[in-house]
Amino acid sequence: MGGIESLQPHVAVLPSPGLGHLIPLLEFAKRLVLNHGVHVSFLVITTNEASAAKNNLLRSLPHGLDVVDLPPVDVSAVTSDDMPVVTRLHAIVEESLSKSLKSVLTELCNPNALVIDLFCTQAFEICSQLSIPTYSFVTTSVHFFAFITYLPTLDREVQGEFVDLPEPIKIPGCPPVRPEDLLDQVRNRKIDEYKFFLLHVSRLPLAAGIFLNSWENLEFVPLKAIREHSFYLQIPTPPIYPIGPLIKEDEPLSASDEECLAWLDKQPPDSVLFAVPGSGGTLTAEQVTEMAWGLEQSKQRFIWVVRMPSDASASATFFNVGSDVNDPKAYLPEGFLQRTRAQGAGMVVPSWAPQVHILRHPSTGGFLSHCGWNSTLESICHGVPMIAWPLYAEQRMNAAMLTAEETGVAVKPEIEPGKKVIGREEIERVVRLVMEGEEGKVMRRRVQELKESASRELGDGGSSSDSLASFIKKCKH
């Protein structure tokens, strides 16, 4: 390597499929290029499955960030639509990396480092053959990272199902997790999805370091635990780099997105509730009906992103985000669209909306969110309090953290005993609470404080900024 080249490290970044994983790793790659002059090869797993939203994201990237599509693999023989998310992810990643990762990294002249997503741990073995240091990027909270680091121990020590435990699960040095808040992937230990999830998280100690999309002021307790608690020190846990919040800064706008923002421009400050089930989330038909009535009865302004209801799965659009075409008239209560439009109170958007633009808009005053980590960070960074509506993955754990007193930026609606869905009266109650109640004002002040602390940590001399700089220094040497 010549002297000039060695000044510019070359880092490869490998996300697993799924928008919730692609977005933070892409933002990380952009920050390496724009703030630190690193040359980044962004490796994309390509299959015979299309995602319109993914293709949009990978357009117009900064100079120095090269998208490298791994040779496409046909996954139809190893996956099916009814597979659980992690089982399907594991099959896709396995198929792609085993065929091409080694040759692609060799063609790229062995980058200084490879940064991988949690579900790409097959890369550890390949990179060790090529002597490339491999770092993990955890796309969830630090609290969740502490939990998954503890999971292999839990797996050895606990008989039976975790969800049947009588007490909350004590995570060393961190707030405990109630069995009912456990992520889907650990709720049934007998199935393949649990085994694959455990396999990936048990490889985390192999990483040269771990990037965490969070910051000191948001998750001080779990960060302190990972750095100081004897449990994590004895594993030993790799060096951690809290570099967050990394959120999507911008997105391309379609004509319908422009229409949505034009409607927002006409509304008073902090008056609109933005309701969206995340990039891969879906509600049941009964829940969609209750949501419609609850929003209408609340008499609050709203933008509601709707998708075809699915009684089969809460993550029905995970692999084809933005590709589902639907007509809300087919499944919303009769007259709902006409009434809310006539009152000028609500806007219903099928499938997809420009979330970043809506959350940063001064008229947006609340966010009914599935509590995916990316959406959580976007809401906090734009100072918007939340209604926590977790659907799948680790979202119930995030919701518990956001509604806890220490964080205090969200309220969670409750399901009445004996009911399967959250009722319209409860939806009306929490919407009013966030948008016009005293508790809503307290949450708004708290989220504003966190927004300011996030901005400080990312600025010059901030802990997140310094943390990333220390990784770059390591790459250069």
* Residues contacting 445, CB < 8 A, separation 6+: none
Closest to 465 (Cα-Cα) out of 31, 9, 116: 31
Residue 273, classed as helix, strand or coil, is strand
Give the CA distances from residue 477 to residues 64, 258, 382, 456, 470, in Å, rounded to whole numbers and listed in that order. Answer: 20, 47, 37, 28, 11
Of 10, 36, 39, 117, the active-site residue reads 117
| Measured distance CA(274)–CA(136) in Å, rounded | 33
- d(C-alpha 273, C-alpha 309), whole Å: 21
In Å, the largest CA–CA distance within the chain is: 69
Distances in whole angstroms, Cα of residue 57 to Cα of each of 20, 52, 243, 378: 12, 9, 21, 16
Token readout for 246 is 């990394």
DSSP-derived secondary structure letter, 10 = E
Q: How far apart are CA 406 and CA 328, in angstroms?
A: 39
What is the Cα–Cα distance from 88 to 24, expressed in whole angstroms?
A: 21
21 is catalytic: yes
> What tokens appear for 336 in the block?
């709902």
Residue type at 394 in one-letter notation = E
CA–CA distances in Å: residue 62 to residues 107, 231, 253, 378, 418 = 22, 41, 18, 22, 53
**Exactly one of 21, 39, 361, 382 is catalytic; which is it?**
21
Tokens (6 digits) for 81? 């639509």
Euclidean distance between CA atoms 37 and 125, whole angstroms: 28
Give buried/exposed letters for 20-43 (b at 16+ CB in 10 A, else e). Answer: bbbbbbbbbbbbbbeebebbbbbb
In eight-state DSSP terms, residue 72 is: P
Beta bridge partners of 366: 273
Tokens 């063609």 locate to: 107
At which residue do the structure tokens 């109640």 appear?
437
**Distance of alpha carbon 180 from alpha carbon 158, whole angstroms:** 16
> Is 117 among the catalytic positions?
yes
Q: Which class for 129: exposed (0-12), middle (13-18), buried (19 or more C-beta within 10 A)?
A: exposed
Q: Coil, helix or strand for 201?
A: helix
Catalytic positions are 21, 117
